[in-house]
Amino acid sequence: MAATHFIHDVEAVLPLSTITVVLGGLLLLFFAVTARKPKQKAKVSQLPPPPGIPGLPLLGNLLNLKEKKPHRTFTKWAEIYGPIYTVKLGATSMVVLNNTEVAKEAMITRYSSISTRKLSTALSILTGNKCMVATSDYNDFHKMVKRHIITSLLGSNAQKQHRGQRDAMMDNLCKQFHAGAKARPLEAANYRAIFDLELFALAIRQAVGDDVDSLYVEELGTTLSKEEMYKTMVTDLMEASIEVDWRDFFPYMSWVPNKSIEENMKRLVSRRIAVVKAMIRHQKKRFSEGKELNCFLDYLLSNAKELSEDEMATLVWEPIIETSDTTAVTTEWAMYELAKNPSHQDRLFKDIQRVCGDRKVSEDDLPQLPCLSAVFHESLRRYSPVPVIPPRYVHEDTEIGGYHISAGTQIAINLHACNMDEKKWEKPEEWNPERFLDGKFDLADRYITMAFGAGKRVCAGSLQAMLLSTSAIGRFVQEFEWRLIDSEETDADIGVLTNRKLRPLQVIAVPRVA
């Protein structure tokens, strides 16, 4: 849910037809507000502020970001103004970091100064006002809920306990591709339709204990299919997270009514909460009968009694939606590139044969498969699932990259620019896993692409995402030869939700002869 503040057309943010009406009022109100503020002695810094991107009065750089892919615009500006600069977004400003050095400095060295979040209106509503690990401030609540999710679900010990569920998912995926190849030889399959629903089923099992093909939701008065649950709990909310309330850019205009966005967000959240609570009620009955399962919900019911019902519903939902993000995006791009580049696919297949022989590749084999690890990391680099890390809020004066950053500033980290930096990556536009096999990069370095963040806020689900993605890629290449249909050869456009492929991958999976 990164980079969500900028990716709609500016008309959706501030309709051009209303600009002439509100400009005068905005100016008067702005000067009135600033005039009422008592003058304070400014804290003098010997360091200069970051350079600013030239923009329009009042609107700043908003019109420059209407292309819906702000990370690309940020990257172009970095080539002109350097790796760190300030953009003006209406009455707010943001410092954008565009290379690995300043990004690591912000996330690790200067972390104590920028550990809070400033959410958009949409994200604030969708996350229950920071009731998620990923969006909460670094405080006692964040530490408590992160400890719970690491202990029960995403930590290394928990991942060992959930190994059987991941193995079952891999078997189910391969069975479906084998069945499709047998029923419709040489006919393209919709890769995403198969992979995403199976991943969603795994997320549900890990979150509440049992996968369900359908669920009756009393509050909605209807029974939802798995596809409808996926839409309600994942895709609708991912799409809603990029909705922009123009008041986010003009805080002093918060008194102006804008009910449509809030009502839409609340409706979607209400549907999501109804579905999650229906799942929880179904599982609580089992739990009360003493039938405990190894799942996040059962752990919370036993160990997190301090949580309210709404907080528990949000926390149970969080791993479901987040499991459906990085893993799905990275794996689909990896399979697209492997199908597009037979030589890389053949090298990976031979490497798997060398290690596994006739038996199926498993998680135990991953440390002995450098080609597989290289494919995973190169896909993360070239198609960073979260191209811009959600903004953090500077709550005290600090410095980054030799510049003074004032308290009250927002910090955005442009991972796309970091991973497309020609000073670090040779021919960065090319997808080339070989770059990770020449000894220049350490595959064990968790910050190699920073796809999962860095420092104390590193993504809690990074281990699971790596295990799921690499295991799936390995099994797919071991059991099938992957080929693109003609129309897929140049279909590498990305959507507006993270860096997901714009159109689902259509691919032919030909079973390999044993």
State the Cα–Cα distance between residues 511 and 514, nearest whole angstrom: 9
77 token code pair: 């500006």
Residues 6+ away with beta carbon under 8 Å from 425: 381, 419, 435
DSSP 92: E
Q: What distances in angstroms separate CA 31 from CA 26, 27, 54, 55, 256, one per listed residue?
A: 9, 6, 21, 19, 17
Distance between CA atoms of residues 92 and 86, nearest Å: 10
Other CB atoms within 10 A of residue 458 CB? 15
Q: What is the CA radius of gyration of the chain?
A: 24
| Residue of 459, 455, 159, 446 lying closest to 322 (CA atoms) | 459
- Do 123 and 268 contact (CB within 8 A), yes or no? no
Contact at 8 Å (CB) between 243 and 122? yes
Give the number of other Cβ atoms within 10 Å of residue 63's Cβ. 14
The three-state secondary structure class of 483 is: strand
Task: Provide the CB-side half-sphere exposure for 292 (13 A, CA).
Answer: 8
Q: For the residues of 409-444, what is the DSSP string, one character each?
A: -EEEEEHHHHHT-TTTSSSTTS--GGGGSSSSS-TT
Degrees to nearest 5, angle at CA 54 with 114 and 5: 45
Round to whole Å and give the CA distance between 87 and 405. 13
Name residues whose C-beta falls within 8 Å of residue 420's C-beta, 6 or more positions apart in sequence: 75, 428, 429
CA 259 to chain centre: 27
Does 459 appear as a known binding residue?
Answer: yes
Could you tell me how many helices (H) and strands (E) the chain has, helices first?
Answer: 19, 12
List the alpha helices (DSSP H) in 289-341.
296-303, 309-323, 326-340
Q: Which residue has the tokens 């939902």?
A: 317
Amino acid at 294: N
Instruction: Give DSSP secondary structure letters for 143-208.
Output: HHHHHHHIIIIISHHHHHHTHHHHHHHHHHHHHHHHHHHHHSTT--EEHHHHHHHHHHHHHHHHHH
Residue 404 DSSP SS3: strand
Q: Detail the residues annotated as belonging to a binding site.
A: 459
Q: Detail the residues annotated as belonging to a binding site for heme.
A: 459
